[in-house]
Structure formats: structure tokens, C-alpha cells
Amino acid sequence: MNFKGTLPTLILEALAHEPSHGYRIAQRIKERSRGVLDFKEGTLYPALHKLESEGLVESYEGVENGRTRRYYRITKSGKGTLAKDRAEWRELSQAVTMILGEA
């Protein structure tokens, strides 16, 4: 399913619970959508870099299984943006459900 415009919000949501690295973020999005949101993982990192340059996430180096990895965590500003995106999404999905539900 094409969900390009919502990828940054989904990344912020995935990071809202705990800091994570790119691979785990991708797996979490796929698992939580039960495979419906299946995206090309190469496009995840540009979205992460954009969020980082906007100050919504920050990165640091961590070690997992003896391997150094780049971890990302959500910032205070990122939490604010996520709350706003969540409210907007609820409003939009309610409106679309009202229209499509009538059909």
C-alpha cells in the first residue's frame, strides 16, 4: 500500500515508545500494520534524515550484539508533532469513514 506521505508520522510513532535503529523501526511498522504497510526499506533512511534535520528525532551510536549501530530517538518537538499528526489523522479518517461508510 502506498503511504509515502504518512511515513514520517509512522516513524515518529514507532520511536515514541523507545529509541530504535532503522531496521527495527521498519519491522515494527510492518508488524503493527500486519503487513499492509509494506514499503521499500531504502526509503526509510531519507525520511529519518529529514526528521533529524527538522529536529524531530536525534541520532546517537549504540551497540547491539557487539555491533555499533545508529539509534534514533524522538525529541520533545517530535512528540508535539506526533500528537498534532495523530489528531489530524483521526479527524481525516473519521471524515473519510463518514463518506465511504454511506456508500
Q: Which residues of the shown chain bind another protein in the complex (CB under 8 A)? A: 21-23, 26, 39-43, 45-47, 49-50, 52-53, 55, 67, 69-70
The nearer residue to another protein, 11 or 39, going by C-beta atoms, is 39
CB of 57 to another protein, least distance (A): 11
Residue 34 burial class via C-beta count within 10 angstroms: exposed 0-12, middle 13-18, buried 19 and up: exposed
Q: What is the 8-class DSSP label of residue 62?
A: E
- Taking the least distance from each CB to another protein, the nearer of 75 and 79 is 75
Q: Which of 1, 7, 15 shows the shortest CA–CA distance to 79?
A: 15
